[in-house]
Amino acid sequence: MKPVASLLIALIACPAVLGSLIRRRERDSGSSNTQAGVVTLSLERRTTSTTLKSTSKASNRRSSAIHKTAYFGQLKVGTPPQLFTVVFDTGSGNLLVPGKTCESEACTAHDRFDARASSTASEVNCDGSPISPGGIGDEVTITFGTGHVTGQCLSDQICVGNVCNRGDFIAATDESSHPFAQFQFDGVLGLAMPAMSQGPDFSLMERLGDVLKKRMFSVFLSDSASEDSEIVFGDTKTHHMASDLFWVPVSRPTGYWQVQIEDVTLNNEVQGICAQCQVAVDTGTSQLAGPSDVISTLASTLNVKGDCSNFESLPKLGFLIKGHVLNLEPKDYIDKDSSGCEVALMPLDVPPPNGPLFIFGIPFLQKFVTVYDREAKSVGFAVAQHASQKHPEAMLVTIGTNTSSPGVQKRPRSLIQHLSPNDMHQK
């Protein structure tokens, strides 16, 4: 089955494997800047907190606060255009918005697409093929662990900023209340690789490839209310970067922007606990997630005190990717609030060959600008330029390529000062 749902929504609801089911359906009787093939969209940042009972035997805390942050922007569908707020999600492959015929609480709480009000709307099968004359279209059901969305597939004009193209999308006919009724955005715009979409016409980057300056997009996420977040289609913006980009090829044909991890580090020291791990870079995921055995080992090694007494002395948690360590500070991987401190990595066990798999969600993406190159099938990483970041050179360092001896530091160097020409992306 082809996964069509974001890893994020699954993590909000339940860490489960996602999939789609196509079946026959009986026919029922809203800022942007565009320049020379480059589209820049502002993203709104919202954060909510949920208190959950702790399931960790090692934790003395009776509950823990889960902070969920989402970034969403606007796009338009139809003629005349109907405005929707959507999460720009690299963990899914389709555009999904509530449909006008959907009367569930989760749909009526949001803007709904009215196909009858669009002069350019038409119905298609959910593999993108046209419906035969007099035939009946199908529908797709997307499962999210504890939730689901069912929808019909339509084709219409879709505009991102001032760039428009005809494409296919899913208009929900039913959405479960949990978790969708609680979302502050209407839908999801999938930006995963084409393998994740229902078909080529469902993939935004496939449709817009000919009108963009480059077949890529980049994401900068603010870490405070004083900064603006944005997604740029067609190019990158270096003023958001505190280091040069380095590029890593997509490692699996899963549809995710997935790359190889060489190991996990603490204060730039390799730990030898995740030599064959993968990571999916997912702008739609509100948290960090990883293999349960690796997270358990990290939690034991870190020995985070529930009363936060050792918070200031906790190490930088890094991920070694292509000889470069991408570091997170304790504030990025620890949930710290009035009830205490706890490691904020969710267990997610994905079996080989696609796993073991980490998910780089919002805490990571606030730390690093990420660039997604469809043409080269690669992901670029650079330290994000934030006013609050005091030592950006410590967030991205290079170490020796021989990482077979865990526990031995490999002479870390600042990537900002020592970037090799071979690390730069070649077109």
**Would you state the structure tokens that stand for residue 398, as one six-digit string?**
């290079």
- Is residue 82 within 8 Å of residue 116, measured between CB atoms? no
The pLDDT tens digits of the residues spanning 274-320 come to 888 999 999 988 889 999 999 999 999 999 999 999 999 999 999 99
Q: Give the pLDDT of residue 406.
A: 33
d(CA 49, CA 72): 18
| Boundaries of domain holding 55 | 7-24+32-208
Instruction: Give the tokens for residue 238.
Output: 């270096």
Give 131-140 pLDDT, tens digit per residue: 988 888 889 9
pLDDT of 359 over the 90 cut: yes
Is residue 202 domain-shared with residue 152, that is, in the same domain? Answer: yes
- Same domain? 263 vs 402: yes
**What b/e string do you get for 21-53 counting C-beta neighbours within 10 Å, with b at 16 or more?**
ebeebeeeeeebeeeeebbbbebebeeeeeeee
In angstroms, rounded to a whole number, what is the distance separating the alpha carbons of residues 142 and 17?
11
Span 341-358, average pLDDT: 89
199 and 252 fall within a common domain: no
3-state helix, strand, coil in the chain (%, to 5): 15, 40, 45
> DSSP per residue over 321-385, as a string?
ETTEEEEE-HHHHEEEETTEEEE-EEE----TTT-SEEEE-HHHHTTEEEEEETTTTEEEEEEB-
Do 83 and 45 sit in the same domain of this protein?
yes
Lowest mean pLDDT among 47-61, 142-156, 385-399: 47-61
Give the other-Cβ count within 10 Å of 200's Cβ. 12
- Parallel/antiparallel/unpaired status of strands 229-233 and 216-220: antiparallel
pLDDT in the model for residue 357: 93
Same-domain status, 185 and 258: no
Same domain, 261 and 353: yes
Average pLDDT, the chain: 82
Report if residue 230 sits inside a domain.
Answer: no
Structure confidence at residue 35 (pLDDT) = 64
Query: Do residues 103 and 169 both lie within one domain?
Result: yes
Dmax (CA) of the chain: 70
**Are 143 and 52 in a shared domain?**
yes
User: If you write DSSP's letter for every residue of 186-254 in order, what string do you get?
Assistant: SEEEE-S-GGGSSSGGG-HHHHHTTTSSSSEEEEE--SSTTS-EEEEESS--GGGBSS--EEEE---TT
More confident residue, 179 or 378: 378
Residue 13: which H helix or E strand, with range? helix 7-13
**Count of domains observed in the chain:** 2
226 falls within a domain: no
User: Are residues 142 and 286 both part of a single domain?
Assistant: no
* Residue 302 neighbours by CB under 8 Å, 6+ apart: 266, 314, 315, 317, 343
Is residue 149's pLDDT more than 70?
yes
226-261 pLDDT, tens digit each? 889 999 999 999 999 999 999 999 999 999 999 999
CATH number, position 144: 2.40.70.10
Q: For 260-333, where are the alpha helices, taking DSSP H only?
A: 292-302, 330-333
Q: Rounded to an integer, what distance in angstroms lies between the CA atom of residue 320 and that of residue 401? A: 10
289 with 405, same domain?
yes
Asked if residue 227 is part of any domain, the answer here is no
Q: Is residue 37 part of a domain?
A: yes
Q: 66 lies in a domain?
A: yes
For residue range 374-411, list pLDDT tens digits in order: 999 999 999 999 887 777 788 899 886 443 333 333 33
In a domain, 355, yes or no: yes
Query: Does 178 map to a domain?
Result: yes
Residue 48 has a pLDDT of 60
- Please report whether residue 199 resides in a domain: yes
342-346, 356-360, 416-420: range with lowest mean pLDDT? 416-420
Instruction: Answer with the residue of higher pLDDT: 403 or 80.
Output: 80
Selection from 175, 168, 114 nearest residue 142 by Cα: 175
Same domain for 249 and 200: no
Q: What is the residue-wise DSSP string for 15-66? A: -----EEEEE-PPP---EEEETTEEEEEEEEEEEEEEEE---TT---SEEEE
Pair (195, 312) in one structural domain? no
State the catalytic residues: 89, 282
- What φ, ψ does residue 47 adopt, rounded to 5°? -130, 135
Report percent pLDDT > 70 for the chain: 80
